[in-house]
Amino acid sequence: MIAERLAALRREMAKRGIAVYIVPTADFHESEYVGEYFKARAFITGFTGSAGTAVVTMTEAGLWTDGRYFVQAAAQLEDCVTLYKMGEEGVPTVDEYVERILKDGETIGFDGRVVNAGWGKKLCAIADKKGGALSVDEDLIGLIWTDRPALSAEPVRLLDLCYTGKSTKDKLSDVRAAMAETGADWHLLTSLYDIAWLLNVRGNDISYVPVVLSYLAVSKDACIWFVQEKAADDGILSYMKENGIEVRPYESFYDFAGSLSGGKVLIDEAIVNYRIRSSIGDAVAVVADKNPEELMKAVKNETELANTKRAHVKDAVAMCRFMYWLKKNIGSVLMTELSVTEYLYQLRKEQEGFLDLSFETICGYGAHGAIVHYAATPESDVPLAPSGLLLVDSGGHYLEGTTDITRTFALGDITEEMRANYTRVLRSNLNLSNVRFLKGCNGMNLDIIAREPLWEAGLDYKHGTGHGVGYVLNVHEGPNSFRWKQTPGRSEEHTIEPGMITTDEPGIYIEGQYGIRLENELVCREGEKNEYGQFLFFENITYVPFDLDAVDAEQLTATERGRLNTYHAAVFETVGPLLGEEERRWLKEATRAV
């Protein structure tokens, strides 16, 4: 099937004289996860992971993806598509590969709406270097994808002030102040996350990501929202009018960008797509900078933080009940990866204010746990047995906030290697969550604190240690993160600021055997200030036990034991009163001091 699709694509390429065609994982807004309409890369390669880029020539097809997906991609790709493991020694980047294979005078093609302006400029430079050209005005995948799903247009809903803590008018005022600092007359936003945050709206146009397909243009005196007509009802339109926001058709944004005739326009070229950037006339001065909304929404206000902690308590009740049920019934009740995934979902649905899962649940038993972003399917589903490890990475959207938690459970007997590695990951998690650091540190400064227990054993994991979390928004939010090295195309230098929420999720993955990951969410808080500067620390807002059945307490230092015991005491104090009597007795034992 994939070979037939590639053949059809190559016929369209040949008609247009395109030598290399690029299909990224993106929508018109550079979203991390995309709706069904935009899954062109999955369509043309067969790889369904959330990150990757396909490059197709007349004779070859390649798929580039990162370490989270090496195992999954190797399993899903057919022989007609070559896997390129990003970041591995000797593996070229997409750009390096394209430049190497492009012959003089040849054309690079891509849909200019799904490639960001910054990358588009680099591809243009490659074509220019070879005396070639770009072809960016057509979606060739759309021409051959005959049963493509329709573009989503789910209803828009408002998020009340009691949840957001700040009105749209006040947020617009802050954005206009930031624009004034750059001298921008207009600010064009295409990030669905930034627009949802700024307008205090949420939707359902991407699975698990409550956003609305739309664009926004802001000036000193005007604000124009470009949205699909059927998505916004009279109540939404009235709200926009009250806030001085004009509503226009979604597809008219490109004409609007092209109609700007002077002044300065602020855009983030890592998000705004190449077609939009190309629509802006030469008479307009472009201020290429980060969207100011990114940092504004990353630093949560006290209302958002208080609400998020409430969401985490609700989520902890569901997770603790899940852990109790799992431990009590494994071996006596038939369980599979899919059935326990559904059981956990139902526990979350019971919580007041639950809206949706915050991402597709990762539930991997045994060898499946070593696939970092594994998602069980009816074809891959396996039964659970009272032995080995089960990794569950899950989360929910509540009216009060978004959660993301990973726990790995010992379902019965485990090997000494598993126990030793589980304890290493636990030490990593505890070390990072308890660090004290000076204001000005970024995630690259702090990542080693988590990895050190693994590196000392010659182990590592091929993903970041942590990411920012949105507020009833995308579960992966920038600019804050914990990573040990610079990733091409990413900005890792932003400091960790008070009010930011970042995950703490080290892991160990032994391919073909098992995986371990332990994840909590941390809020950055201000500590003491003295002659050395402002010190910061993390407040842990995840309240679920680590599985003591998998811990080798002898590996823990006295300090680490103290950290674990303090954390478990807080879990019992927070969640215990919300559970039934039998569950509470179990939790008391599950959080016992070691």
Mean pLDDT of 74-99: 94
Confidence at residue 50, expressed as pLDDT on a 0 to 100 scale: 87
Residue reference for tokens 């914990």: 482
Rounded average pLDDT over 442-467? 96
- pLDDT, residue 485, reads 82
- What is the bridge-based pairing of β-strands 477-482 and 501-504? unpaired
The pLDDT value given to residue 71: 86
Looking at the domain 2-144, which fold is it? Creatine Amidinohydrolase; Chain A, domain 1 (3.40.350)
- Report residue 554's pLDDT band, with 50, 70 and 90 as the boundaries: very high
Of 405, 496, 390, nearest to 444 (Cα)?
Answer: 496
pLDDT of the residue at 486: 73
Give ranges for CATH 3.90.230.10 in the chain.
Answer: 299-590
> What CA–CA distance (Å, rounded) separates 276 from 260?
12
Counting Cα atoms < 13 Å in the Cβ hemisphere of 47 gives: 34
The CATH number of 157-297 is 3.40.350.10
Task: Please tell me the pTM assigned to this model.
Answer: 0.94
Angle (deg, nearest 10), helices 94-101 and 117-129: 20
Distance, in Å, from the CA atom of 322 to the CA atom of 328, rounded to the nearest integer, reads 10
The Cα–Cα gap between 237 and 235 comes to 5
Question: 440 falls in which pLDDT band (50, 70, 90)?
Answer: very high
Cα–Cα dist 531/377, whole Å = 56
With 0-12 / 13-18 / 19 or more C-beta atoms within 10 angstroms meaning exposed / middle / buried, residue 160 is exposed
Rounded to whole angstroms, what are the CA distances from 355 to 128, 412, 489? 49, 34, 33
Given a cut of 70, whether residue 488 has pLDDT beyond it is: no
| SS3 label, residue 517 | strand
DSSP, residue by residue, 282-310: TTSEEEE---HHHHHHHS--HHHHHHHHH
The pLDDT tens digits of the residues spanning 162-207 come to 999 999 999 999 999 999 999 999 999 999 999 999 999 999 999 9
Pick the closest to residue 315 from 358, 276, 283 (CA basis). Answer: 358
Among 491, 445, 439, CA closest to 465:
445
- The SS3 of residue 271 is coil
User: Tell me: the pLDDT tens digits for 275-318?
Assistant: 999 999 999 999 999 999 999 999 999 999 999 999 999 999 99
CATH of domain 299-590: 3.90.230.10
Q: Under DSSP, is residue 86 helix (H, G, I), strand (E, B) or coil? A: coil
| Selection from 519, 543, 534 nearest residue 469 by Cα | 519
Q: What is residue 512's three-state secondary structure?
A: coil
The band of 490, judged by pLDDT with boundaries at 50, 70 and 90, is: low
pLDDT of residue 503: 98
pLDDT for 170 equals 98
Query: What pLDDT does residue 275 have?
Result: 97
β-pairing verdict for 285-288 and 354-357: unpaired
Beta bridge partners of 534: 529
Place of tokens 């969550």: 433
- Average of per-residue pLDDT across 499-515: 97
Q: Which pLDDT band holds residue 373 (cuts at 50, 70, 90)?
A: confident
Structure token pair of residue 95:
């750009």
Contact criterion met (CB below 8 Å) for 329 and 306: no
One DSSP character per residue, 19-43 reads EEEEEES--TT--SS--GGG-HHHH
> Alpha-carbon distance 570 to 593, whole Å?
12
Q: Note whether 477 and 469 are within 8 A (CB).
A: yes
Residues of the chain with CATH 3.40.350.10: 2-144, 157-297
Q: What is the pLDDT of residue 493?
A: 72
| Mean pLDDT rounded to a whole number for the chain | 96
> Measured over all CA atoms, what is the biggest interatomic distance in the chain, rounded to whole angstroms?
75
Q: HSE, CB side, 13 Å, CA atoms: give it for residue 48.
A: 9
Nearest to 356 by CA among 87, 127, 33: 33
Q: Which helix (H) or strand (E) holds 495?
A: none
Q: Residue 492 has what pLDDT?
A: 64
Q: Is the pLDDT of residue 487 over 80?
A: no
Whether 409 and 327 have beta carbons less than 8 Å apart is answered as yes
Q: Which two tokens stand for residue 125?
A: 């430079």
| Residue 320: closest CA among 11, 585, 552, 110 | 585
Type of residue at 544: V
User: ω before 545 within 30° of 0 (cis)?
Assistant: no
Give tens-digit pLDDT for 50-76.
Answer: 899 999 999 999 999 998 889 889 999
